[in-house]
Amino acid sequence: MNRHLFSIKELSSTELQELVDRTIQMGQSESHAGLLAQKNVGLYFKLPSTRTKTSYTLAASNLGASMVTYHPDELQLVTGETIEDTARILGEYLDVLVIRCHHIDEVRMFAEPNKMSVINASTVEEHPSQIIGDLAAIKERFNRLESIKILFIGEGGDIATSLLFAGSKAPGMELHFLMPPEYSLNKEVLNDAEELYRESSSTFKIHHDPQRFLDKVDVIYTTRWRRMGDEPSPDWREAFKGFQVTTELLNRMSASSSTIFMHDLPAERGAEVDGNVLDDARSIIDQQARNKYTSAKALLAWCLSS
């Protein structure tokens, strides 16, 4: 059976730790060249991408795989061929297909013939490879994931969901989510999370008032308010007032001088985050971007390892 990455929720704690550690190892050595020689990797991105597409392209090349990129209008899907038929035939050529599309159900459909591994490179629901790279960055900074205290500020979208699921698999991690009530995590996600956290030593809590959150944290993480360029409603900017990460907020919520700021990018300077925070010495956004490349290598190798 092929290995797939659809959701952080579906990984075991051991698998997640393995992927985080492998991401770190891939960044420490270039001795992995040729690891995927004679393997074929396809990239199918229906939505915009700068870092993720570049990362998987270079990762496949660096590991020695042959690669083909499909643009949204290139596959016969646009002429009426079904996803099932397309996936069955692509499975005759490819060992891994990396997909960015709107919904995870479409990603799963490409995997149903089970002839090739499939990686979710971001959907509305989740962005699992981003969070694997981010956890690696946190571990590199603190030398652990256990008992790290994280504050996520922003929309309850793909990044928040993947982070929430990941937290249940890192012993003692404490996650706080600060978000407008109307842009919080959805009920189905919260139900899944509550089940995961019942068997975990980690905790999570949802908050809606930036002025009442007085905790000190190790990690402050935000993401773009308008995911994939969407505008949820005409008054969305009003709903997010007070949720911008400023230098004052960063200072107020930092547990120590080692507290870090994270953003998955792209960022809208002056919206979800002040430009000074992105450029602050505590910001590790460049490291996060590098880790997208090393996590892409780790995931490709993991999918094709027995």
The string of pLDDT tens digits covering residues 68-99 is: 999 989 999 999 999 999 999 999 999 999 99
Q: What domains lie within the chain, and their CATH numbers?
A: 8-126+292-303 (3.40.50.1370), 130-289 (3.40.50.1370)
User: How confident is the model at residue 232, as a pLDDT?
Assistant: 58
User: How confident is the model at residue 230, as a pLDDT?
Assistant: 59
DSSP string, 244-298: -B-HHHHHHHBSSTT-EEEE-S---BTTTB-HHHHTSTTB-HHHHHHHHHHHHHH
What token pair was written down for 33? Answer: 């060249």
Contact 95, 116 (CB under 8 A): yes
Q: What is the rounded distance in angstroms from the CA atom of residue 219 to the CA atom of residue 258?
A: 9
Q: What is the rounded distance in angstroms from the CA atom of residue 180 to the CA atom of residue 107?
A: 29
Cα dihedral sign, 201-206-123-244? negative
User: How confident is the model at residue 305, as a pLDDT?
Assistant: 83
Contact 96, 90 (CB under 8 A): no
Helix (H, G, I), strand (E, B) or coil at 137: helix
| Peptide bond connecting 266 to the previous residue in cis, omega within 30 degrees of 0 | yes
User: How confident is the model at residue 201, as a pLDDT?
Assistant: 95
Closest Cα to residue 63, out of 304, 301, 306, 302? Answer: 301
User: How confident is the model at residue 2, as a pLDDT?
Assistant: 85
What token pair was written down for 288? Answer: 């996060």
CA torsion, points 103, 104, 110, 116, in degrees to nearest 10?
140
Residues of the chain with pLDDT under 50: 228-229
What contacts 196, CB < 8 A, 6 or more positions away? 9, 165, 168, 169
DSSP string, 188-256: HHHHHHHHHHHTSS-EEEEE--GGG----BSEEEE--SSGGG---STTHHHHTTT--B-HHHHHHHBSS
